[in-house]
Amino acid sequence: MYNESYYKYTKDDIMILNKVSSKNDEVLILRKPIIEDAKSIIEYLNKVGGESDNLLFGKDEFHLTEEQEMEYINKVNKDTNALMILGLINNEIVGIAQVYGSNRKRIVHNSEIAISVRKKYWSVGIGSAIMSELIRFARESGKKNISLGVKANNQKALKLYEKFGFQKIGIHKDYFNINGTYHDKILMMLQI
């Protein structure tokens, strides 16, 4: 009998969450990560960080080793309060997102989300498809609130969040420092 705490999520455990068509008719697979994805996830994050100034890290600023990423994948897949989603087109990672929250009883009904899509796939519906899955998970796992933070001039992300009903609830002044220039973070939330 295996011990759950040593269980590794491998190819046998692939869990497809959804399969949808993008606006340019490509098949987008949304699934949970497995440990074999670790290298591609690190490569993805190091590339996507350089494709906009809107994430918390820039190009080549994601520093986990493959082993650390594998450990993270196992941890997040076991956490009933969290979901990591990979979006793949033709076996290439084109988007990654997460919903996560605390296990503490007093705040377990809250969750936060983070999302990114590779630049060459922007505006074809991938962000929206991923967002639907994040909200579905939050709802099905009994969450009441979803919150997020977005750089104030990130129009595309603001549009995406407003489309799903998120409302602006505050501003964290000068949260981002992008090459010496400060930018506010807009705090948003959705009650589900």
Ligand X SMILES: CC(C)(COP(=O)(O)OP(=O)(O)OC[C@H]1O[C@@H](n2cnc3c(N)ncnc32)[C@H](O)[C@@H]1OP(=O)(O)O)[C@@H](O)C(=O)NCCC(=O)NCCS
* Residues near ligand X, by CB under 6 A: 52, 54-55, 115-117, 122-128, 150, 154, 156-157, 159-160, 163
Q: Which residue is nearest to ligand X (CB)?
A: 127
3-state SS string for the chain: CCCHHHCCCCHHHCCEEEEEECCCCCEEEEECCCHHHHHHHHHHHHHHCCCCCCCCCCCCCCCCCHHHHHHHHHHHHHCCCCEEEEEEECCEEEEEEEEECCCCCCCCCEEEEEEEECHHHCCCCHHHHHHHHHHHHHHHCCCCEEEEEEECCCHHHHHHHHHCCCEEEEEEEEEEEECCEEEEEEEEEEEC
Q: Pick the closer one to ligand X by CB: 70 or 113.
A: 113
CB of 105 to ligand X, least distance (A): 29
CB of 29 to ligand X, least distance (A): 15
Q: Pick the closer one to ligand X by CB: 84 or 115.
A: 115
CB of 87 to ligand X, least distance (A): 9
Q: Pick the closer one to ligand X by CB: 28 or 70.
A: 28
